[in-house]
Amino acid sequence: MRISRLSRAMAATATLAAAASLSLAQPATDNPLLKPSTLPLQYPAFDKIADTHFGPALDAGMAEQLAEVEAIANNPAAATFENTIVALEKSGKTLGRASTVLFSLLGADTNPARQKLQADYAAKLSAHRDAISLNAKLFARIQALNAQRDKLGLDAESVRLIERYQRNFVRAGAQLNEAQKTRIKAINSEMATLSTRFNQNVLAEVNDSALVVDTAEQLAGLTPDQIAGAAAAAKARKLEGKYVIALLNTTGQPYLNQLTDRALRERLYKASVARGSRGNSFDNTAIVARVATLRAERAALLGFATHADYVLQDETAKTPQAVNDMLGKLAPAAVASAKREAAELQALIDQEQAAKKQPTFKLEAWDWSLYSERLRAAKYGFDESQLKPYLELKTVLEQGVFYAAGQLYGLKFKQRADLPVYHPSVTVYDVYNADGSQLAIFIADMYSRPSKRGGAWMNAYVQQNKLLGTLPVVANHLNIPPPAAGQPTLLTWDEVNTMFHEFGHALHGMFSNVMFPSFSGTSVPRDFVEYPSQVNEMWASWPSVLANYARHHKTGEPMPQALLDKVAAAKKFNQGYATTEYLAAALLDQRWHQLKAADVPAADQVMAFEAKALKEAGVDFAPVPPRYRTPYFSHIMGGYSAGYYAYIWSEVLDANTVAWFNANGGLKRENGDKFRATLLSRGGAEDAIQMFVKLTGHAPQIEPLLVKRGLVTAK
């Protein structure tokens, strides 16, 4: 997952949707957010930034940008590209700098003060965005330039930027009458406040729902280090002598694949799926219903049938029908595959229970992970416990992720300890091109903690663009459970894949080579942005890369070739489950956002609506629940509303590109250089699908994805 950057005039505050301000006065000279950082590449001075700095910086930044916008809108000279579009691109520097740091910290290391900032200023910042995008004089200048954009003698990127501004302003409501604009402003303000409450509820309940376990015996199946970690987590909560299992935001939980106590697995699963709908202070059902209603109302005001129509107009999919068709084509094959997998798991359960002379039981959602690991061991001769000693975090990062980037793009990495970090577990690297020139600074934030939101994502603290002369400072965030003190961090195979995936986003940001901030890095359609990151996953299991990083954390011995071969052979294992849980969530997202306002269910019907939607879509298979259920589906309460399908849509492009890499020799510099020059460096400066076609030589085809996931057999 990534955080996108929209046009600077409309969304120098796009990252502000979660930001807010604490109005405590600070002398301007003492506030590091009021001017660019003097650290390398304008890396944030985390050691000098206090929570009390954000309010004054945001207030000053909003005032500064509004003054800049007013000067542009009221310029007596006729509109030109320089005095209107370029001027807008240069506006909002203080606001962008302060909001980027605050929003990033709200995700990576929040605290009560930052959450108060978030709540207090969500509506104010929404109003600030509307003050720009609904400015009639400013829009008139943009319209005038757009009408003559092909006659101005501009290069293709500049023409595209004019088109982007015109489109964004129209989509924000610039062509509405005054009464409609007033309503749009009210809707945006209320949604900003509700979104903040939703996400704060999700984080609070994840921490509140952590499972307390009385005895170590109940944790059978976990390693001694994991049990020690659970004891340490309990001690931190002043629960001496007990054990705590922390939750992640997904429906599935990490320890479900190890715990042999079935009752405890059931408790863990049910604690996970109950979040957000238990009628407690964290209940999000009323927020879901209200936000869905507001989104549908806003879409209608803007001339769209539904919120999904509004969102998808600006994506490569273009229409809800295109998304429905693609998801509808995948769902039956995925569910059929999941049911075949379930039958194998049920047979294994029956066999094990018979061997123990105990009654069998029906496969449930809390059983799947454990028995799929056992089935993997039976079918392929290995399980996660055999892999993990060879997957130590730092080695995977430096000898795997970085090594692959070196082989493919010629990059070099050097850790540095002189730059400040916001948490002691964060590490920082300089990134260099093959010619020795600095490309970027990379921040690696790998561990989960109570102050960090769930999931994995990339964000940019500084984005590349030639207009302002900046180079990227990008960060990857994962949620790997921290080990007990003094113990190594040993990864699951899924965590390894996630690390490669998120670094694909980082490469997209670091390789950016565009003129304008609006097109920098990952500023591409939502259903295209996951594509480069998914391509980068292919190198996790590429033989030469895997052999380089898969080394025993104690002895340094490489993973035995026989085990490497087994990992490769099992790539399609459990893909019915993985595809179905994802599709269930993506289909839920579409069902919510293809509603008209009058059809949105009330709060007390939210979960019934979810159940009906899953049944109608043909993905209501109890052993495979949605990856996210509605009340904790943070993606769709944020930037992925009507857009969660993007992962599978992008994977179509990914599977085609993996086939292209394989057909052209795989891990070779010339392939990497072409991928970088044709696509990764262009950000949003060119049409997304045209870049894909330029690389692969053909339009996207779905067959490689079906083969990759084992949903059909290759011809």
Looking at the annotation, which residues are catalytic?
Answer: 502
* Contact (Cβ atoms closer than 8 angstroms) between residue 481 and residue 110: no
Q: Which helix (H) or strand (E) holds 354?
A: helix 320-355
101-104: list long-range contacts, CB under 8 Å, 24+ apart: 101/33, 101/44, 101/49, 101/54, 101/461, 102/19, 102/20, 102/54, 102/58, 103/3, 103/15, 103/16, 103/17, 103/18, 103/19, 103/459, 104/459, 104/461, 104/475
- Give the closest residue to 252 by CA, choosing from 275, 233, 230: 275
Phi and psi angles of residue 327, each rounded to the nearest 5 degrees, phi first = -65, -40
Phi and psi angles of residue 639, each rounded to the nearest 5 degrees, phi first = -75, -10
The whole-angstrom separation of Cα 54 and Cα 24 is: 9
The whole-angstrom separation of Cα 35 and Cα 487 is: 41
Residue 511 token pair: 């390789």
Q: Which helix (H) or strand (E) holds 277?
A: none
710, amino acid identity: G
> Crossing angle of helices 136-147/51-73, nearest 10°?
60
* Contact (Cβ atoms closer than 8 angstroms) between residue 584 and residue 616: no
- Give the closest residue to 157 by CA, choosing from 513, 470, 528: 513
244, amino acid identity: V
CA dist 541 → 548, 550, 569, 577, 669 (Å): 11, 10, 11, 20, 18
Burial of 36 (0-12, 13-18, 19+ CB in 10 A): middle
The whole-angstrom separation of Cα 692 and Cα 534 is: 14
Strand, helix or coil for residue 444: strand
The whole-angstrom separation of Cα 310 and Cα 329 is: 23
DSSP states along 476-487: EEEEEPPPSTT-
The whole-angstrom separation of Cα 706 and Cα 712 is: 6
Establish how many alpha carbons lie within 13 A of residue 449's alpha carbon, considering only the half-sphere containing its beta carbon. 18
- Give the closest residue to 589 by CA, choosing from 551, 619, 624, 566: 619
Phi and psi angles of residue 58, each rounded to the nearest 5 degrees, phi first = -65, -45
Do the strands 438-447 and 473-480 form a parallel or antiparallel pair, or are they unpaired? parallel
Residue 403 token pair: 């090594």
The whole-angstrom separation of Cα 680 and Cα 519 is: 12
Strand, helix or coil for residue 90: helix
Which residues are CB-neighbours of 9 under 8 A, at least 6 positions away? Answer: 69, 88, 89, 91, 92, 132, 133, 138, 165
CB atoms within 10 A of CB 33: 27
Which residues are CB-neighbours of 292 under 8 A, at least 6 positions away? Answer: 307, 592, 593, 595, 600
